[in-house]
Structure 1
Amino acid sequence: MGKKKKNNKNEQRQVSQPPTDTSETTMPEPSDAINGIELLTEIGNSFQHISTMNYALPSPQRPLALIGWGAMPEQHALKMNYDTNLARLCKSVGIDGYNYMAFPMGGLGRAAFKLAEDSLDLPPISIPDAQFDQYLWQTYIIGTVSPWIDTDNPNPVLAKVSLDALREELDHALYLGVRNVVIPLRRVKSPNLMKLLNHYLWVRTAKFTISLVMPTRQDEFEDLTDLEDEDIFNIWVSIRRGLRNYTSERLTVGLRLTEAEMDDEFLIPEKYDRWHGEPLFLFILSTDSFVFSPSPPSLNSKMVEMVPAHRKIVFDLAISLENQRFLVMPKGQMWPIQRKQMVEYLTSFLNQKKSPLLPSQNDDRILTDVLLLPMETVWRDLSAADYDGLESDITKYQHYSEAIGYMIGNEIDLKNGLVIYILGAGRGGLVGPCLEIVKARFPHLHKIVRLIAVEKNPSACISLRYKNNTLWHGKLTIIEGDMRFVLKNPDLPKANLIISELLGSFGDNELAPECLRGAESICTPSTQFIPYQYSSLLSPICSHRATDQLRDSFVSVYDSERAINVRFNREAGKFIYSRPKHWTDHLYVSLLNRYHEAARPQEVSQFKYSHEDQNFERHVKLSYTIKHACEITGFLGHFVAVLASDIYIANSTRYPGGLSTCLKSWFPCYLPLREEIRVKGDSELILYFWRKCCDDGAWYEWKVTYTEYGTDEEKTTPLQNEGAESYFMPLRPKEEEIKELF
């Protein structure tokens, strides 16, 4: 280690060796201690450079999975006083490949204390903040609490001491600035613990996230008798609801994978899939999650594999690696080589997870699980950035090209030439494929085809004219205006083929049926449409990430004057702007990733394009079978559109291989309930859904009937968005009708 260094009395960060107990045989004398400042410059390089706020897409230099090491008294010699030498321990763990460390907020010495009625003299908290810079506490340390704390012990003396001790440790965690604190749930009935957590969530407004850890076996609870809930999942749901569903930015859940065989609810995928909808933040693994030969603490033991049941549930539930943590907390001593084997295995195994399908190849991961308002393309004109996103959807244009080729070759009589209309042409995303298909596969039609684009956005029409002059050699006829009005010109030629991409995330929510009614005047009985029909589907889901946003973002951040809804008053000739009466009575679009689908989707409505006038209102009653008790927060919606024959597109990955998925153009949609409902297992959930229309637009209304978990009572939710009081899909009026714009 070189020459001995004199103690520097002015230095506040003093760190001593060794990094782990297994190094004690080669430990230098205490006077050989390394100055802590020298270590602090190295810690950031030892740990992976992570941030708990934002994560970029994975790179070869930084694994996506965030794996930590949990320090416990059994693993480290207390004489080394790691409570004040934490930098040395963090460096050693970081070199092995771990991203962070979980450490008792009271210190290892306090965590080793044995609480008893005749032993109530608690060791003091002994972790100074000065040994780390503030950002290191925030980035590399997760807090744990002393394992002997039992706030709801039947002995009131021990319960009182535990409650005071937990409060002290949480206060110290606030002082240190750590961002996460892990608290194990020892008893199902824990009123004292719930009161304390409520205080820190609602009164103290703690700046850290509390992760309440649940075991994967019911008999791990110390008060197993007289359970009111049927399984651990519902125990957690009852606790979360008891804490008033506090936002998942402050209250999350963790699973501790137990050494003994886990309960059935963690072995059967359709049961543990329910955790997808919960704020599942943490997976705690022990030595028993891994198979060693021979068993530790032998120096010769080598890791063979991970216990299959543990491996499967971690792999299946780890759906958001940027926002979830994996914590190794062995109960006994581990040699550094074994510690390293575990993290290398977990890193390789977890990084096999496929990332959720993103809307573009750029860093758009920030859009995952974020609720967005629909574009409302009928009412609003899109920007160039919007068109860039839509036109980057290669899958969509590949399928449209196939459909165009099929229709021209099989469904259209070409004796009198070919007239193709592209309605809602935008900047011409479909023009290029049309011209290419005709030129490549039907060269004899190349000179006689007539291609007409209709677009209401005046800025997009500028781009259309530019491309027509520079790319398409003037082969495109451009009609600027709303298709509902400009196509009534009797001089326009009749269409052989009408192509559009007017669909919304829910199929008809961008008013495609109403808009295409304007094409009646250019249709003949033989006119073909692409797409020629589409269906809208809904499935009941639980997504607390979505619920958090509705509760905290839309309601509290936006002021009462913010208007997002608009209706046109023809009598007054002006627009009426309004704010939703209920933010939950609104359709949102979102690339949801963290949710549990309680039943398979069912068809809500179907529209088939034709030149005939039809009624666009719909009413349906759907029955979903809920196999296992769970919460429902709303419905996930998507569409399936048939372009031609067996060529289709969708905005859901559930269809074969995801080959027809067009998420870059259309996110799925989310239809919330006003309040989360708790549904009994093996019961029916009935959805009543209406699509209603008027002269200036359309809207949805919905409600559900269900059997409540715990009471077996049949209940019905309020009718949402009645009379379009919160969400309305407006049609654009004629320009001459507008007397007052603002």
Structure 2
Amino acid sequence: MTSQRSVSCGLDFSCAANLNECLVYAHDSKYDFICVPLVHPLFKREFISGAATNRLGPFTRPDLILSSSDWNNLIIAKFSPFINVDSTNPIIRRNSEETLNQELSLASHFGLSGVTLQLKHGINKNVNLARIISDKISNNNSNFQVWVQVPMENPIRQTYSYRTEDCLVDENPWEWWNAFRTICDYNKRLGIALIVSHDVPEMEEIDKWLGEPVRCLILPTTIFLTNKKGYPVLSKAHQAIVKKFVALEVQFILTGATRYQSISYYHNYLDYLWKGCQNDGTIEKFARGYEDYLQCPLQPLMDNLESQTYEIFEKDPVKYREYQSATYEAIKAFISKKEKRKIIIMVVGAGRGPLVTASINAAEMANQEVKIYAVEKNPNAVITLQALQRDIWKDKVTVVSCDMRDWNPPEKADIIVSELLGSFGDNELSPECLDNVMKFLQDDGINIPQSYTSYIAPIHSSKLYNEVRQLRDKDKHPLAHFETPYVVHFQNKYDIANPKPLFTFKHPNTDSVTDNSRYETKTFQVEQNCVLHGFSGYFTAILFENITLSIEPSTYSTDMFSWFPIFFPIKEPIQLKAGDEIVVHFWRRCDSKKVWYEWCLSKPIPISIHNSTGRSSTIGL
């Protein structure tokens, strides 16, 4: 347990008469930071009219009471609760605007890392607030994050409803947030402080928050129960909420009066819960630090991979085990129908040799003699293959330094083995490569893999949208990055619908005319209001008969980390309503030098074709 990360938890104060005493109390109770009002309510000022217009003296505590480091690391500031910049009363509104700007300026002066404010109830109640906040955080002189407090459930009712033109409209707090951040143009310095309610929403509603920039969960002490030993605990439903957000590395803020001997009891429980929720499986250890990080897909046909890249993928505990099993079954299938002789295996795209080793192991398991050709175009990897052949494999293996498409083998293969698959199945040009080597295969020969299918699904992820938007390249159009697929280890996202199969390729290809271009249309049903930011892509592969590899979530090969999913962004977020249909069109297009994908929507609204003619992203042949 010592290697596990501890929870980050703050303590909320409704008032802080002595800031240093509050910090000592929080520190002694194990809390990492405190959340306090920036200005004491007794020092309220009126800028337009009223009794406090001409108040003399300072309006809050001076910066000297804490060091700059403490202001930055230990304090989250709350704005004055009476601020209402969207009031219909012009005096209240103008007073509130002056007060908010004064407090924003003060937060910047103190060097705070974060400030927090609450949204008013209703989509149209926060528009002027959004303008002022957007103004401030778009200014490079201000470096703080703004944590927008949003209740998980509407505090007035579980679902807040009102009538407009005799039509019942449902409105929940996510709608308030969605309108607010849209007006703020998805500013990356906006985050959510999600207030966990006593009544737990449906899990589908909670899942939607997983696609948002939730920075912390605010936990009222009143939602805690007391266990048999007299300590605070959360109900199973509330534990399930915490568990969902642990993966997003959220922080916690505890608010409200303690009902126990020490407020540290809440921290102890949250730390225990946090550590118990951490997933330290194979994929989590491998992918740590790469969550929602955009990577350009590999192009091993165009570029020679580096030694480190080979080394990382060779550590996969699943892929080569399954390839070995598939090769073993394929060898057994040959033994049963042929006279006893050496079986010819060609490993095309052999890399540094893990598939060669897997093929040798499979042959030994089947007690069958084999002759293996290891074909590799990367001259640096060939050095490794030649060393392995000399020292370990001996005369079982012939190393061929050549692009598989240019090779003229001395004999035909019974089994061809390759690992040319990308995150989208065909995006590393496995179809184009294997079409050129199928002429090496006996008429009754076996190709491993036998087939592979790509999958797509619509996703909602503010994080990924902002990540793409931040990319800049002086040689490209500003929107070119939205026409480029990325390999991503998804974390901060909400799946709008389950994945559906897109393109399938089979080997050997029995079609009379070889054509690897594809066009498919897929329709997805929207279950609840959300925002479409793009599409996630996956693949499944049939290596041989019932032996498969998959990164598609419903059939995922447990502990396999050789492939992260792929992400196809769209240029503008699309607001979706429950009951909408998403109709997406995907093309795989080819010419003599390259392959590329194009995508667009026709419903719920038509959008332009992304990456038309491969103008922003191609895969070189």
TM-score, structure 2 normalization: 0.91
Are the counterparts in 2 of residues 70 and 327 from structure 1 also a CA contact under 8 Å?
yes
1:361 offset after TM fit, Å?
4.2
Are the counterparts in 2 of residues 653 and 661 from structure 1 also a CA contact under 8 Å?
no
Greater mean alpha carbon deviation, residues 400-409 or residues 377-386? 400-409
One-letter identity of the residue aligned with 1:546:
L
Report the CA distance shift for 1:724/1:581 in structure 2 as closer, same or farther (over 3 A).
Answer: farther
Report the CA distance shift for 1:238/1:229 in structure 2 as closer, same or farther (over 3 A).
Answer: farther
Are the counterparts in 2 of residues 702 and 721 from structure 1 also a CA contact under 8 Å?
yes
One-letter identity of the residue aligned with 2:31:
Y
Q: Does 1:173 align with 2:173?
A: no
CA distance in 2, matches of 1:630, 1:107: 38
Are the counterparts in 2 of residues 538 and 638 from structure 1 also a CA contact under 8 Å?
yes
Aligned twin of 1:277: 211
CA distance in 2, matches of 1:590, 1:251: 22
CA distance in 2, matches of 1:181, 1:356: 32
Pairing 1:422-501 to 2, within 5 Å after superposition: 422-439=347-364, 441-443=365-367, 445=368, 448-486=369-407, 488-489=408-409, 492-501=410-419
One-letter identity of the residue aligned with 1:730:
G
Are the counterparts in 2 of residues 284 and 326 from structure 1 also a CA contact under 8 Å?
yes
Structure 1 regions of 5+ residues with no counterpart? 1-58, 295-300, 562-578, 708-714, 732-742
CA distance in 2, matches of 1:422, 1:360: 31
Report the CA distance shift for 1:702/1:257 in structure 2 as closer, same or farther (over 3 A).
Answer: same
Report the CA distance shift for 1:514/1:61 in structure 2 as closer, same or farther (over 3 A).
Answer: closer
1:318 offset after TM fit, Å?
3.7
Aligned twin of 2:144: 208
One-letter identity of the residue aligned with 2:272:
S
Are the counterparts in 1 of residues 48 and 94 from structure 2 also a CA contact under 8 Å?
no
Q: Does 1:69 align with 2:14?
A: no
SS of the counterpart of 1:635?
strand
1:435 offset after TM fit, Å?
1.5
CA distance in 2, matches of 1:61, 1:243: 39
One-letter identity of the residue aligned with 1:319:
A
1:704 offset after TM fit, Å?
1.1
Aligned twin of 2:583: 686
Are the counterparts in 1 of residues 162 and 170 from structure 2 also a CA contact under 8 Å?
no
CA distance in 1, matches of 2:530, 2:191: 17
1:641 offset after TM fit, Å?
0.6
Pairing 1:94-493 to 2, within 5 Å after superposition: 94-107=27-40, 110=43, 120=52, 124-188=58-122, 189-203=125-139, 206-220=142-156, 230-247=171-188, 250-259=189-198, 261=199, 267-292=201-226, 302-321=230-249, 324-330=250-256, 333-334=257-258, 337-355=261-279, 361=285, 364-411=287-334, 413-415=337-339, 416-439=341-364, 441-443=365-367, 445=368, 448-486=369-407, 488-489=408-409, 492-493=410-411
CA RMSD of aligned residues (A): 2.8
Are the counterparts in 1 of residues 599 and 609 from structure 2 also a CA contact under 8 Å?
yes
CA distance in 1, matches of 2:443, 2:487: 36
Report the CA distance shift for 1:390/1:61 in structure 2 as closer, same or farther (over 3 A).
Answer: closer
Of the three residues 529, 533, 552, the one matched with 2:451 is: 533
1:304 offset after TM fit, Å?
4.3
Q: Deviations over 1:10-33 (max 9, x none)?
A: xxxxxxxxxxxxxxxxxxxxxxxx
CA distance in 2, matches of 1:602, 1:726: 26
Are the counterparts in 2 of residues 689 and 703 from structure 1 also a CA contact under 8 Å?
yes
One-letter identity of the residue aligned with 2:14:
M
Report the CA distance shift for 1:411/1:545 in structure 2 as closer, same or farther (over 3 A).
Answer: farther
SS of the counterpart of 1:197?
helix
Of the three residues 524, 542, 552, the one matched with 1:624 is: 524
CA distance in 2, matches of 1:270, 1:229: 16
Are the counterparts in 1 of residues 457 and 535 from structure 2 also a CA contact under 8 Å?
yes
CA distance in 1, matches of 2:221, 2:464: 36
CA distance in 2, matches of 1:417, 1:119: 100
Of the three residues 452, 465, 480, the one matched with 1:582 is: 480
1:660 offset after TM fit, Å?
4.3
One-letter identity of the residue aligned with 2:251:
R
SS of the counterpart of 2:498?
coil
Aligned twin of 2:540: 640
SS of the counterpart of 1:527?
strand
SS of the counterpart of 1:695?
coil
Are the counterparts in 2 of residues 303 and 338 from structure 1 also a CA contact under 8 Å?
no
Are the counterparts in 2 of residues 649 and 661 from structure 1 also a CA contact under 8 Å?
no
Q: Does 1:722 align with 2:612?
A: yes
Greater mean alpha carbon deviation, residues 278-287 or residues 157-166? 157-166
Report the CA distance shift for 1:293/1:641 in structure 2 as closer, same or farther (over 3 A).
Answer: closer
Q: Deviations over 1:371-418 (max 9, x none)?
A: 110111111110001101111111111111111111111355452321
Are the counterparts in 2 of residues 267 and 313 from structure 1 also a CA contact under 8 Å?
no
CA distance in 1, matches of 2:281, 2:386: 34
Aligned twin of 2:420: 502
Q: Does 1:597 align with 2:495?
A: yes
Are the counterparts in 1 of residues 376 and 382 from structure 2 also a CA contact under 8 Å?
yes
Are the counterparts in 2 of residues 218 and 224 from structure 1 also a CA contact under 8 Å?
no
Are the counterparts in 2 of residues 96 and 336 from structure 1 also a CA contact under 8 Å?
no
1:344 offset after TM fit, Å?
1.3
CA distance in 1, matches of 2:225, 2:558: 42
Aligned twin of 2:574: 677
Larger radius of gyration: 1
CA distance in 1, matches of 2:334, 2:508: 15
One-letter identity of the residue aligned with 1:703:
C
One-letter identity of the residue aligned with 1:628:
Q
Aligned twin of 1:702: 599
CA distance in 1, matches of 2:270, 2:525: 37
Q: Does 1:560 align with 2:457?
A: no
1:164 offset after TM fit, Å?
2.0
Greater mean alpha carbon deviation, residues 175-184 or residues 608-617? 608-617
1:604 offset after TM fit, Å?
0.5
1:159 offset after TM fit, Å?
2.9
Identity of aligned residues (%): 25
Report the CA distance shift for 1:63/1:391 in structure 2 as closer, same or farther (over 3 A).
Answer: closer
Report the CA distance shift for 1:717/1:650 in structure 2 as closer, same or farther (over 3 A).
Answer: same
1:72 offset after TM fit, Å?
1.5
SS of the counterpart of 1:472?
helix
1:646 offset after TM fit, Å?
1.7
Are the counterparts in 2 of residues 705 and 717 from structure 1 also a CA contact under 8 Å?
yes
Q: Deviations over 1:633-679 (max 9, x none)?
A: 10000100111222111124432xx444532x211100111111112
Are the counterparts in 1 of residues 48 and 91 from structure 2 also a CA contact under 8 Å?
no
SS of the counterpart of 2:180?
helix
1:110 offset after TM fit, Å?
4.8
1:275 offset after TM fit, Å?
1.2
CA distance in 2, matches of 1:685, 1:357: 34
1:203 offset after TM fit, Å?
3.5
SS of the counterpart of 2:87?
coil
The count of residues paired between Structure 1 and Structure 2 equals: 607
CA distance in 2, matches of 1:668, 1:410: 33
TM-score, structure 1 normalization: 0.77
1:705 offset after TM fit, Å?
2.2
Greater mean alpha carbon deviation, residues 237-246 or residues 227-236? 227-236
Are the counterparts in 1 of residues 541 and 548 from structure 2 also a CA contact under 8 Å?
yes
